[in-house]
Chains A and B, each alone.
Chain A
Amino acid sequence: MKHRTFFWFFLPTGLAMMLFIAAPLVSIIMQSMFAPHEAVLVTVENCGPFGCQQETIVDQEATRALRDAQPLGRFVGLDIYFDRGHLAVAEVAQAWRNADDLGAFWTRLQNLPFYRAMAFTLTYTFTVTPLLIVLGLMIALGVNAINARIKGVVIFFSLLPMIVTPLVGSLILFWMIDSRGILGTAIQWLADDPDLSLKASTTLTWVMLIVYGVWHSAPFAFVVFYAGLQTLPMDQIEAAQIDGATRWQQVRFVVIPHLMPLVTFVALIQLMDNFRVLEPIVGFNAQAHATSLSWTILNDLGGETRQLSAASATSVMTVIGVAILLTPVLVRTWRDFKGKT
């Protein structure tokens, strides 16, 4: 393609990317390095239905002068990235110095919001992603093998978990696993422990969130793999059958290699999605046991006093986290691509 043609061809995409990807990134990076001005406080008398008392308020005149002088706020550089709400460098260093062994250090680390969020997020990402790929593949193989007449219905029901909005899906499950709900009671009966509560135990909450994550995302893997199965080379399968390959051997040596590029694709998308896990934590009210970076952002923005700078810093860290996660898969794809050409 001529450079000129390429330029005009790429221009709309390029503009859209600038507008929707580059600009927001620049914006959050800026916001994460500027914090609100130091508040000028005054004490005034404050009266209402319950009488009068002396209260502290923000001096608007003085604050306005500060804001007009520096509309972006106070430049703090990377301070917010290093504070306790984020990387907590000072606290981590202190924990390292004071801890007797690795276990004690780990316990102290889990007391800091960023590391606590990462512990859950990474566990979630690296259990849910492989499990949903395996489950999606199994559903796809199963559906592909059944009678064409009921296929449509089965596909519809297999897709349901993905069709249901995550918040609604998690809320329904949340009610079912309540100690008085149908699943909660069933589990109590199975474990023979009437006091067992999924919601009160950190381990069980993590298991529940992971099960939900697999349940919700497996249909995505299923759809992709099912589409891939329609392009399966039948002559290879027949050749394998003639050679006496069992069904498992056919899957292992013909089907899976054929679907490998799709596995990479699903892994890429799902690593990205699972790293940003948010809805199940909100839906299951699980913040006492599990948090994620996205949940931290929501929490910073949802309080009575919004913490825009803290939320922006966490957003930037999420972007960096996703980039790190995807690097191995991207490098691999790039090598395959180079190998082919």
Chain B
Amino acid sequence: MFLKTFTAAGALAVLTTSTAMACEITARVSIVGNEFPAIQTVGAGAKACAGAEVTTNLTADHQTINLPGMQGNPAEYTSAIIANSSIVALMNEDVIRPLGDLVEKHGQGLQPTQLITIGGEVMAVAFMANAQHLVYRADVLEQVGVEPPTTYEDMLAAAELIREAGIMENPVGGAYAAGWNLAQEFNNMFLGYGGQHFEPGTAEPNVNSEAGINALNMMKALSDYMNPDYLTHDSNATNAEFRAGNVALMNMWGSRAATLTEAEGVPQEVIDGFAIAGPMTVGGGDIPASTLWWDGWTVAKNISDEEAEATFIAMMNGIDPSILEDEEVARQAVWLIEGYEPTEAAVGVFAAANSGTIPYPMLPYMGLMHTALGNELADFMQGKESAEQALADVEAAYRAAAIESGFLQ
């Protein structure tokens, strides 16, 4: 058995060197994308190609530069690494090309699930999955004698017990920073209550509904157990609170949970008590109050076919199955690449995918809805207006933006 593993590993190693050697390109490759660890790995893999220059621009501000950088002809960026939310902006402006012929020519080894097919055309190649799910302190829950919550109602009850026991004053964490984060938490809760953002088949908003009001009331109830500054806390600040031992329960991104306790100076009890579980449901629903995400890469439209081919080859090298041999890389994300074995850190995202979590809506006007939610919900969270008023404001703000962008008349 040992020998067999050994030879298999040896064979894999040989394979790796051969694929790495095989990556020869003949035209420039320029990649823009987000900066989290898994994407850094993909970027580094693409840069390993020889024969022509490969440049990467990996930054948290990628969303504001990828579209302008691909609208020119020739485009500055030959590839943008995007997620299911941000591919929409590129699709709306028609700056990415169908990949069917390149997949046929160079896409051996891609899993069918990795191909993002829109209207019969492959528009992107996904390489990782992501979702928000429960992250908790097993030791603290044990102290108050409760099981890890599977619903938000249980989470509230557990939070009350922890506060009563005097262990933590504000045991719940959440990325509730006004803006994108707050809107995303609303999306989770809203879908968990069975809400639909739009009237089916139209761009008409549909958030001012019972599901919307329930979602806001649940968020408000949770915020009573959060640090009073919660409207300024993004994922980074929420993680910092968890690391400092101030938080015992939170809904957090899978891509950030894996490396959560690896920072310097995290107290031992936080490292030991740290645990991950699937996303929670809310209001007796069976669909988790979370969304599923994928990250993948695209190829620009306004470049020569030669550059497109080089880009495809380089990006394929970035997501080559051999990268998973590095244990650290395997832990970085829930990879969709062939041969990926889920690590312990991946259970949350897997539970999300297996329990029917809804993918983040890929609609041309969802970005406008997300912005409107981010701007208008803070007033309700601060108690300045009713849930109905906040949601009416969201719909009005969205409507103004959608009329301007030509989605509504």
Taking a contact as CB atoms under 8 Å apart, the answer to whether B231 and A288 are in contact is yes
B116 CB → nearest A CB, Å? 5
B57-98: CB near A (< 8 Å → 1, else 0) gives 000000110010000000000000000111011011010000
Instruction: State which residues 204-246 of B face A: CB under 8 Å.
Output: 227-232, 234
For A46, A76, A302, which residue has the most chain B Cβ atoms within 10 angstroms? Answer: A46
Q: Is B312's beta carbon under 8 Å from chain A?
A: no
Return the contact of B370 from the options A83, A91, A303 (Cβ within 8 A): A303
Instruction: State which residues 262-294 of B face A: CB under 8 Å.
Output: 292, 294
Known interface pairs A49-B113, A307-B404; 20 further A-B residue pairs with C-beta atoms within 8 A, sorted by A's residue number: A39-B405, A46-B116, A46-B117, A47-B117, A48-B116, A49-B114, A50-B129, A50-B353, A57-B118, A58-B364, A74-B406, A84-B396, A111-B393, A179-B229, A197-B229, A200-B230, A287-B178, A304-B366, A305-B89, A306-B64
User: With a CB–CB cut-off of 8 A, which chain A residues contact B201?
Assistant: 43, 56
Taking a contact as CB atoms under 8 Å apart, the answer to whether A304 and B371 are in contact is yes
Taking a contact as CB atoms under 8 Å apart, the answer to whether A58 and B371 are in contact is no
Q: Is A301's beta carbon under 8 Å from chain B?
A: yes
Closest A residue to B230 using CB positions: A200
Q: A50-B294, A304-B63 are in contact. Are A80 and B120 (CB under 8 A)?
A: no
Q: Please, how many angstroms separate the alpha-carbon atoms of A309 and B22 in the complex?
A: 47
Taking a contact as CB atoms under 8 Å apart, the answer to whether B229 and A200 are in contact is yes
Instruction: State which residues 56-98 of A face B: CB under 8 Å.
Output: 56-58, 60, 63-64, 74, 76, 80, 83-85, 91
Return the contact of A179 from the options B203, B228, B389 (Cβ within 8 A): B228
Return the contact of B400 from the options A39, A45, A53, A83 (Cβ within 8 A): A83
Closest B residue to A286 using CB positions: B232
Q: Is B407's beta carbon under 8 Å from chain A?
A: yes
Taking a contact as CB atoms under 8 Å apart, the answer to whether B404 and A309 are in contact is yes
Taking a contact as CB atoms under 8 Å apart, the answer to whether B400 and A84 are in contact is yes
User: With a CB–CB cut-off of 8 A, which chain A residues contact B119?
Assistant: 42, 44-46, 57
* Range, interface on chain B: 35 or more
Interface residues of A (CB under 8 A from B): 35-39, 41-50, 53, 55-58, 60, 63-64, 74, 76, 80, 83-85, 91, 111, 113, 178-179, 195, 197, 199-200, 202, 284-288, 299, 301-307, 309-310
Taking a contact as CB atoms under 8 Å apart, the answer to whether B89 and A58 are in contact is no
B329-367: CB near A (< 8 Å → 1, else 0) gives 000000010000000000000000100000101111111
Interface residues of B (CB under 8 A from A): 63-64, 67, 84-86, 88-89, 91-92, 94, 113-120, 126, 129, 177-179, 201, 203, 227-232, 234, 292, 294, 336, 353, 359, 361-368, 370-371, 375, 378-379, 381-382, 385, 389, 393, 396-397, 399-401, 403-407, 409
Closest B residue to A37 using CB positions: B406
Q: Please, how many angstroms separate the alpha-carbon atoms of A76 and B403 in the complex?
A: 11
Taking a contact as CB atoms under 8 Å apart, the answer to whether B294 and A58 are in contact is no
Closest A residue to B122 using CB positions: A47
A142 CB → nearest B CB, Å? 36
User: With a CB–CB cut-off of 8 A, which chain B residues contact A202?
Assistant: 382
